[in-house]
Structure 1
């Protein structure tokens, strides 16, 4: 049965109309993955020397163990942002003489070979061989490594469970997120020390290798939690399409005066208001506006403007990034109808542009109270806002033609991650790196205000030439619109 299901999954992927598309993105992504894996491997061989330099009077094993809890928290965050749920089109199998348990075990075990579960071995194995084995012996060192690996698998299954709960019980997932953030804040404000707790726990594990059974029990419980949840939600009536209840909404009179552009913006706002998926984007973007409290009071970032610029780009452009990464997938349900209307691609993207401009300006206005940390913060955020409007908007539009994944808004809910994958992460790289690259030479020459001015000036130039830029985007859309429409029909 396992080989049969694997063969079906491979055929489904191979025969898909989108197979082989976005080859350039996959190549870039592969390059970055190889680079980071090589970096982690090198770090694994030299991490003991780095720990001795940073903590000269402490045992490197105890120091390393002290950071393991931080590693698991960061691992949870990375998985939440990037890891896709293991899926199987299970409905066609339910009427066949196949035990449902086999299908569920297959879905769960699909997540085990994920790169997220094994990349840490590039650091852990060299550290174990160089430090732990000479000090504690091979059996104790192997037990320590197995414990960390089992806890990594526990992270995998517990995160999968809470991601699945997003659609049926978002409050439980919100409570889980609050607990994780609360732990990190308590450590930051000195209410408790995760380092001390982590070092004590894993040092005790080294002294008592039989305690490896505890991570194994946790893993078994997390697996059972997922199994029970899927077993209760794999009946045909559970998987059937839900009825799409229409929601009435009034016209936005103010926007009607701007013609077709205003009407398209009004439709965009109604789409956001009527669906939990799009409203969650607004909510998450509002949370990013508190980024300044992380960067501006920190003395490490006071000397240069690079990190301040990063914070400004994120705060004034996060809604644009979060919402724009799914353009035009938000309209995937009625994309074919849009193609038949008297709406040109230029009008379509012009409406998106004038929808993003006010959101960035409002975000900048909200960040004005950060002037408490210095007026240079206001100047940096203004430059970041202009750059987002005049440059990053068109970067998002340029990559938008690669969005061929359909979004079913009738199935969405708060914090829905449908369609989120590594390709979206690749798109975020130029959005963040471009302003930093513009600023970098000026910061190196010791004239940071000139660098900030250059970032803002490029944004103004892009805004002044927005008609020409939108024409280029519209031409690119015309050459890809049938490919996009085909992907949305899947």
Structure 2
């Protein structure tokens, strides 16, 4: 039965729009996965010798054990934000004579071989080989290795239990930040306990039974949870909400874009997730306090101040723009049947992001307290967000193929997130920092600021030209997007 499930998923993958949306993106993702594997492998092979060279008086194995607790908590947070249960499209199978337990075991079993679990093996296995070659106790090292593999699997199953639970994310984030702060300010040495736990497994491999029991318990809990959810009634049930109306007649002045602007405003205000994104954008204005109050960045890492400046005014552009047009995935098919200009449809989103960015820049005016240079950074960051990042994110939206449930929880919701959201970070965040250094190092601070501002102004001036190109790309990808959004996750 498991073999048949694998065949069904294989056919679904190659027959769906996900395979057809471009081989170039798959090549990029393949290189990214290869880079991660090589990085973990290099770290696994070389970390022992690097630690022994940089910390001559300490045992490298003990040093690694001292920080494994931080790594486990960080891994859980990363999984919470990125990992999803590799479910099949089980709805058609629920009416067939297939035991639900088989479906559940298949889904959980498949999750054990996800990339989130495999990447860590590229560190733990070579690191264990190095330990054995360095004459560490073989049985102890093997016990430690299998324990780490089991702890990784425990994190895998624990994530499926706590995922989408904002309280769990808050607790994990507070725990990680709190332990790092305690360690950094020498208030309490957390590494002592981490070292005792993992060194204890090495000295007494019998303790490996504890992670074995933990994996078994978490697997069983997941099995029961998923078993209860595999009912057709739950799969087809639809929630109905009453919509609120508002007077948006003022938007009529925008002509052909007016219907789209009204639709965007209603979309944002009537749904949990979009409303959260909008409101959280204003909290991003406070992001600069983390960087602008630290003299280290001003003296040695000015590029990080550019990074912060982009975030101060770019909260809405970055968080809302990266999911265009997936916000409308539920009715995208209907929207594309209307006799309206595709260019106006996209331009309405551009105007919305520019207006909100301008409002955030006004709210950031008090940052002038930290000096004119800081305020200039925020100003050019706003220009770059309006002139370049808006266009980049709208263009990237042509490749969005994942649905978004607007009625789902707004906070901590990673639905619709894919690797594209991380790839787009390169032009959105890395390029302006690179521009700053390229001009500021040879010509000074003002030249770096002027370069970023120049690109932002250039984007605003050439907006119409690039919007026409982007509209053509959307038209080309129109039916692929309709088909993808029409598929049920």
TM norm structure 1:
0.91
**What is the CA-CA distance between 1:132 and the residue it aligns to?**
5.1
Residues 205-214 or 381-390, more deviating: 205-214
Question: How far, CA to CA, are the matches of 1:413 and 1:309 in structure 2?
Answer: 29
Indicate the residue corresponding to 1:447 in structure 2: 444
Two-structure CA RMSD over aligned residues (Å): 2.5
The aligned residue for residue 214 of structure 1 is 210
- How far the C-alpha of 1:348 sits from its partner, in A, is 0.9
Q: Which whole-Å CA distance do the structure 1 matches of 2:283 and 2:56 have between them?
A: 39
TM-score by length of 2: 0.91
Contiguous gaps of at least 5 residues in structure 2: none
- Does structure 1 conserve the Cα–Cα contact (< 8 Å) formed by 2:325 and 2:400? yes
Distance between the aligned counterparts of 2:203 and 2:289, measured in 1?
A: 41
Q: What does 1:73-92 correspond to in 2, within 5 Å?
A: 73-92=73-92
1:16–1:412 CA distance, 2 compared to 1 (3 A): farther
1:243 maps to which residue?
239
Structure 1 stretches lacking a partner, 5+ long:
none
Q: 2:317 aligns with which of 308, 315, 320?
A: 320
SS at match of 1:118: helix
How far apart, in 1, do the equivalents of 2:74 and 2:241 lie?
39
C-alpha contact 1:84 1:420 (8 A) present in aligned 2 = no
Change (3 A) 1:105 1:299: farther
Q: Is the 8 A contact 1:353 1:393 kept in 2?
A: yes
**1:355 shift after superposition:** 0.5
Residues 131-210 of structure 1 mapped to structure 2, 5 A cutoff: 131=131, 134-163=134-163, 166=164, 170-171=166-167, 174-175=170-171, 177-188=173-184, 190-210=186-206
Deviation, structure 1 residue 438: 1.6
CA contact under 8 A between 2:66 and 2:192: conserved in structure 1? yes
State the shift of 1:339 in Å.
2.3
Q: How far 1:387 sits from its partner (Å)?
A: 0.7
Q: What is the distance in 1 between the residues matched to 2:288 and 2:462? A: 31
Q: Report the equivalent of 1:257.
A: 253
Who is 2:272 aligned against? 276
The question of 1:69 aligning with 2:69 is answered yes
Q: 1:305 aligns with which of 302, 305, 329?
A: 302
Give the distance between the partners of 1:440 and 1:395, measured in 2 at CA: 21
1:139–1:3 Cα change, 3 Å: same
- Work out which of the residue numbers 213, 221, 224 in structure 2 matches 1:225: 221
Residues 247-273 of structure 1 show CA distances to partners (whole Å, capped at 9, x for unaligned) of: 122123443333343442232121122
Question: Deviation string for 1:375-420 (max 9, x for gaps)?
Answer: 4222222211111110111111212111133334345654332221
Aligned partner of 1:123 in structure 2 is 123
CA contact (8 A) 2:36 2:119 kept: no
* CA distance in structure 1 between the partners assigned to 2:50 and 2:440 by the alignment: 28
Distance, in Å, in 1 between the alignment partners of 2:211 and 2:279 is 35
Retained in 2: the 8 A contact 1:328–1:400? yes
Contact kept? 1:309, 1:380, Cα under 8 Å:
yes
Q: Does 1:384 align with 2:378?
A: no
Contact preservation (8 Å) 2:21, 2:480: no
CA shift digits 1:343-378 (9 cap, x unpaired): 211111111111001222233344444445444222
